[in-house]
Amino acid sequence: MIRTLAIALALAAPAWASEEIADQYPQSVLYSKPVEYFPGVYSAIGATAPPTYENSGHNNNLSFIVTGEGVVVINGGAAYVLAEALHKEIQAITDQPVKLVFNENGQGHAMLGNAYWSELGIPIIAHSEAAAEFEEYGPQILQGMQRYNQDKADGTFLAGPTETFDDEYVVEMGEFRIEAKYLGPAHSPGDISIWLPNQSLVIAGDMAFHERMLPIFQDTYTADWLETWDTEFEALDATYVIPGHGHPTNMDQVRRYTRDYLIYLRGKIQEHMDAGGDLAEAYYVDQSPYANLDTFEELATKNAGRVFEQMEFE
């Protein structure tokens, strides 16, 4: 009953998320306590705000699957202390050992916590492009985390994945078939989604957003992301979605705030370009239908500028 209620509330109540809440779990460096949203599938939902000292860099979802034969963790965490805190929560829930860690991409909040897991000798899996991204930019990523996390950065060192894949990495463990999939170009290099076909549940990573505005990076190619969404992500036909940021939800919700947002913004930029508008004005195209999303103020103008720069050369 509790699990069913957790799922129902998560699917129906995106208003839970608020970037105004500095910390929802003061007893821990984790931003929130892990919740079992589906039998055996837990997630500690991160802040929908940018990373800060108050949220310890826990502004993404740290998920894990209790399979019956061991625990599979999805995301290393943004710092050694976050990974350690997540492990303590896992140990309070089950005696099953952590057997595998997946990194959803090469960003700091997916990989910096590998420092902790690597000391335990646990295999860490990521896409080859994510591993290359972390190897190239790891020192800058670590320095950025050290600036905002200060003493909470203690103990964190660079530890990349121990194994990589290009298309799919499948694990049969206990009651779960776990399929780590690279569906194609999306938010950042090497983004993967964890598909649980027997549960019709996808731990989508940064393929899908809904409570906070998605960020468009220099290497985020929105046309490619839309193609990946339409040809691969939709084909999963998932009933339940745990996104990279924000509470578990369904496909309708993430479609509205990811795919539809990208289509909307590209449409507005195309109108602006057709009218002879330049980059300076492109930053201010109307994005008011999405102003309810957390991080709108931080990201909307940047997103518009980057889409303009991309579409100039499409």
Look at residue 27 and tell me if it is in a domain. Answer: no
Look at residue 95 and tell me if it is in a domain. Answer: yes
Look at residue 152 and tell me if it is in a domain. Answer: yes
CATH number, domain of 59, equals: 3.60.15.10
Look at residue 66 and tell me if it is in a domain. Answer: yes
Residue 24 has what pLDDT?
82
Rounded CA separation 188/313 (Å)? 20
What's the half-sphere exposure (Cβ side, CA atoms, 13 Å) at 125? 22
Torsion of CA 44, 210, 140, 301, to 10 degrees: -150
Q: In what order do the strands lie in the sheet with 176-181?
A: 168-173, 176-181, 193-196, 201-205, 240-243
Closest CA to 55 of 82, 80, 31: 31
Rounded CA separation 77/122 (Å)? 14
Helix (H, G, I), strand (E, B) or coil at 82: helix
Residue 17 has what pLDDT?
59
Residue 102 has what pLDDT?
98
Rounded CA separation 103/117 (Å)? 11
pTM score, whole prediction: 0.93
Look at residue 20 and tell me if it is in a domain. Answer: no
Look at residue 154 and tell me if it is in a domain. Answer: yes
Helix (H, G, I), strand (E, B) or coil at 178: strand
Rounded CA separation 218/294 (Å)? 21
For the chain, 314 residues long, the average pLDDT of each consecutive 10-residue run is 45 54 87 95 95 95 98 98 98 98 97 98 98 97 98 98 98 96 96 97 98 95 97 97 95 97 98 96 97 95 97 91
Q: Are 87 and 75 in contact (CB under 8 A)?
A: no
Expressed as residue numbers, the domain containing 175 is 35-251
Look at residue 74 and tell me if it is in a domain. Answer: yes
Look at residue 202 and tell me if it is in a domain. Answer: yes
- Tell me how far CA of residue 51 lies from CA of 22, 92, 99, 126, 192, in angstroms: 10, 26, 28, 22, 21
Paired tokens of 141? 């990523």
Round the CA-based radius of gyration of the chain to a whole number and report it: 19
Residue 4 has what pLDDT?
44
Torsion of CA 202, 205, 208, 209, to 10 degrees: 120
Q: Which residues contact 70 (CB under 8 A, 6 or more apart)?
A: 96, 97, 98, 99, 100, 173, 174
What's the half-sphere exposure (Cβ side, CA atoms, 13 Å) at 89? 25
The tally of domains found in the chain comes to 1
